[in-house]
Amino acid sequence: MGDFGVIADVSNIIVETLTESLKALSPDQPPIAELNDLSGTVQTTPAKLTVFLYDVSEDPTSRNRPPVRSQPPAAPTSRKPPMALLLRYLITPWGGDPVTQHRMLGRALQTFYDDAILDGAQLTGSLSGTTDALHLGLTPLTLDQKSWVWYAIQKPYRVSLNYEVRVVDLESAAVTAVRPVRSRVVDGVRTT
């Protein structure tokens, strides 16, 4: 499970995965992937895929999970279950000619189709060494929905990919000490 930096860790994992896969397009000067909020001008040398996190929401299918309890020999504690997040990314090609941009999109699609679950050694940061897995899926948005994303960031529409990463577990910081039961009362009789 990830700590408060898990969103940044997931973004970095996506950028690293895409940058590595783009090396296949050109051995001399391959395109790169870059985390970018698209608020300013995107530098187009070298050609790149920008990775823009545009939405963070809670995964409704993962609600109402039980608390997480620590195991002995540590002092017994109880923690709220992790918050399951859905992260939505806009992946956009910049620079080069249109053929290069289309090849970058194709390579990104191929990468996340062939390896739609990132886990194990692919995970870094707070997810490193965990049993967590990131499931990536192409989000089916209509052209109108895509246009609204571009409208919201006040940029002209560009062909891009929308990916959803689920489930990213954000560990709770609220820990409660659990005291063992030393005695109980059943039908008015106290037992120890």
Residue 192 lies in a domain: no
Residue 182 lies in a domain: no
Residue 178 lies in a domain: no
Residues 161, 146: contact at Cβ < 8 Å?
no
Chain mean pLDDT for the chain: 86
Q: pTM for the whole thing?
A: 0.82
Query: What pLDDT is stored for residue 2 in this prediction?
Result: 67
Question: Which residues is 90 bridged to in the sheet?
Answer: 52, 162
Average pLDDT of the residues in 149-153: 90
CATH of the domain at 92: 3.30.2000
**Two tokens, residue 3:** 């700590």
Within 8 A by CB and 6+ apart from 81, the residues are 65, 66, 67, 68, 172
Residue 36 lies in a domain: yes
- Domain total in the chain: 1
Name residue 69's amino acid.
R
Q: Is 21 helix (H, G, I), strand (E, B) or coil?
A: helix
Range of the domain at 130: 6-70+78-173
Helix boundaries (H) for the chain = 6-22, 98-114, 143-152
